[in-house]
Amino acid sequence: MPKAVSRARCAIYVIIAGVLFGTTGTTSRFAPEGATPLSIGSARAAFGGIVLGLIGLAIWAKVRRGRTAIRHPHGKLVTAVTVFAAAVGVAAYQATFFYGTLVNGVATGTVIALGSSPLFAGLFEWLVLKRRPGWIWLAATGLAVVGVLLLSGNGSSGEATNLLGVAASATAGACYGMYVVATKVLLENGWHSQDAVSISLGVGGVLGLIMLPFTDFTWLADPRGIAVTAWLGIATIVIAYTVLGRGLGGLPAATAATLTLAEPATATMLGVFVLGEQLGIPSAVGIALIVVAVLTLSLPSRDDTVARAELG
């Protein structure tokens, strides 16, 4: 039987995922010389996705007699397409996000990717699930996007913005939105969150593994490279996507995408306390706006108790 899960608890799951996602940039700064954004992203997706896939397979094999996890209410082909869409979203996000930050800088690339992801998630959820986001989501998302813009500072070094980089960053936002909505579709069709996340990320890990040989991955022979990859794979893939999947079971996809904007706030704070970067007034205001948006979307509503999926 589905378990009733409070909105606040689901929101906490998603916020935890956003915080873990926010460690990605700081962790990658400790990668050995020669590690490129694309190779780091591919290694992260490959290692984390495959580990998560193996964990999911082990869990499914152990408890398969006690639950019916793999359901195909609209046919196996539609289910396969949904899983593949989620996997492609994860794998393509790595390449497009890191390319956008490489071309236009971390600030501009991150703002475009993360700022657009809730909007894409809301659009996809409207088109696929016929569920239009409400005014509270719109207001909170607007606050969060402004907060992300403030966190970026000027977001420019005086050079013209590369349009291809802008397109890549926006594509990254769309890819994340696609993953969130595709996973939500699986959950609403009776899938257990662990199965949905493990299968999608497992396939995404294979896609990342396929991309890895096309990058310079010699830095993985360095112990520091192994440590960086291990953290990125375990913390920002295995744990982060697992708790994100649990949170998605009780929240609209658009709301979950906005809550994960805790990521840039976390990245900024880590930059200050770990990397010794300076926190200006605009950045402090940006963090405050994101916190307000996240708290707003975490408040109980009429549908505070939900039982959309079995999250246990």
pLDDT per residue over 136-147, tens digit each? 888 888 888 888
Tens-place pLDDT, residues 297-308: 776 554 443 333
Beta bridge pairs of residue 5 = 306
Instruction: State the residue for tokens 């050079």.
Output: 159
Contact 259, 122 (CB under 8 A): no
Counting Cβ atoms within 10 Å, is residue 146 exposed (0-12), middle (13-18) or buried (19+)? middle
Contact 290, 111 (CB under 8 A): no
Which range, 9-18, 91-100, 146-155, is most confident?
9-18
For residue 275, give both structure tokens.
């990397």
For residue 18, give both structure tokens.
């956003």
CA gyration radius, the chain: 19
Note the pLDDT of residue 227. Answer: 95
Helix (H) or strand (E) holding 305: strand 305-306
Is 80 exceeded by the pLDDT of residue 235?
Answer: yes
Note the pLDDT of residue 181. Answer: 92
Note the pLDDT of residue 107. Answer: 64
Contact 145, 115 (CB under 8 A): yes
Q: CB under 8 Å to 42, separation ≥6 — which residues?
A: 94, 95, 208, 209, 211, 212, 215, 217
- What average pLDDT does the chain have? 80
Residue type, 61: A
Note the pLDDT of residue 7. Answer: 79
- Report pTM: 0.81
Q: Which stretches within 130-235 are classed as H helix?
A: 135-151, 163-188, 193-211, 223-233
Residue type, 51: V
